[in-house]
Structure 1
């Protein structure tokens, strides 16, 4: 486990850490499901988390036994419509959508001189940061188009360290509930340097 004194940077994921856009994804897909006549439920919403746009659409269509009812072009149009629905919701975001304790934590980190980067697989991450008013904290961000592997592969977080000129071992990643993580926090209000130091030392 890394020692607290060795930490030089912090690599953040966006969704579920800084803000929660998964509800917007669900709302946007719900609109598409309604349009194609597929009934929406919590199990379907959960199944769509973390998978690509086209895979999500195919899952929705399969749920309603409609997977063979649309041409590739029609499917592409539905996937594009979902993204349009999603962006309309994202455009309504404000700093009120930042998860509790995150702004104070980011201020604490920058005041203490730590380097920060964003490691989000979302192509919409820059827009989300702008809406939240947090762009100034994340002048360095991983370009998701440059990645060869999707999560759970750690490539995106390794790249998040690289763009800071740091080794991954010198960084703290976002606390996701993973058994291999050095530290886990159950909610964002626990994210403080004091709590991280206490856990590591």
Structure 2
């Protein structure tokens, strides 16, 4: 019996990975960083610090990691602030959130994105009243695939890890949730790259495949 559901944001609540990749590719060109698309996609689900530390070390760019992170985050935040169409829920996920809320399931977002972006996205989706907690990867020391973010979310929700379900679209996210001792629903999002989420307890291609009763049986 589960008591809480923790959802990733990028690639689960919103189909944001193509925009992240587009804006980051722009920065790569501006700073002269030679990063392949395969390398770039491998960072899906991780924090921006994790990615930019790799970029700096590999390409020996003159900017500090903190400067690169700030450049990346400001560009994304400014874009979604100015473009309403940039933030839309993945089909069916908002209905699932509302159904779970009506069943008194405790809900959280646990994302590697910074908290200001998470708050803005949830507000633009008109889902801010449904989530008990919004958790950023900045709140913990280690990025996914370490379990820190999900354990932190469970603690904030007041629910033991074994009574939490996680919805993730990335390999590192699924591994993190499993390491936290939680059941995981893997969502196949083609825009998140070729992610191996086969270790999830259930794999879906559409949120129409999920409802409260089906989650009870995981």
For Structure 1 versus Structure 2, the TM-score category normalised by the shorter chain is 0.7 to 0.9
Correspondence list, 1:59-98, <5 A: 67-68=59-60, 70-72=61-63, 77-91=67-81, 92-93=83-84, 97-98=88-89
Question: Higher RCO, 1 or 2 (CA under 8 Å, sep at least 6)?
Answer: 1
What is the distance in 2 between the residues matched to 1:61 and 1:165?
38
Structure 1 residue 104: Cα displacement = 0.8
Deviations 1:129-149 (A, max 9, x none): 122222111131235333132
Higher strand share: 2
Give the 3-state SS of the residue equivalent to 1:30 in structure 2: helix
Tell me which residue corresponds to 1:141. Answer: 134
What is the distance in 2 between the residues matched to 1:88 and 1:95?
11
What is the distance in 2 between the residues matched to 1:89 and 1:159?
29
Tell me which residue corresponds to 2:6. Answer: 11
What is the distance in 2 between the residues matched to 1:52 and 1:173?
18
What is the distance in 1 between the residues matched to 2:155 and 2:57?
40
What is the distance in 1 between the residues matched to 2:30 and 2:6?
39
Matched, 1:170 2:163: yes
TM-score after normalising by structure 1: 0.76
Change (3 A) 1:78 1:134: same
Matched, 1:25 2:15: no
Matched, 1:107 2:98: yes
What is the distance in 1 between the residues matched to 2:76 and 2:118?
13
- Between structure 1 and structure 2, the one with the greater Rg is 1
Could you say what the CA RMSD is over the residues aligned between the two structures, in angstroms? Answer: 2.9
Tell me which residue corresponds to 1:42. Answer: 37
Structure 1 residue 161: Cα displacement = 1.9
Give the 3-state SS of the residue equivalent to 1:119 in structure 2: strand
What is the distance in 2 between the residues matched to 1:28 and 1:163?
32
Change (3 A) 1:60 1:121: closer
Paired residues in the alignment total 189
**Residue pair 1:17, 1:188 contacting (<8 A) in 2 also:** no
Tell me which residue corresponds to 1:184. Answer: 203
Structure 1 residue 47: Cα displacement = 3.7
TM-score after normalising by structure 2: 0.71
Change (3 A) 1:191 1:77: same
5+ long unaligned stretches in structure 2 = 168-184, 187-195
What is the distance in 1 between the residues matched to 2:90 and 2:38?
24
5+ long unaligned stretches in structure 1 = 1-5
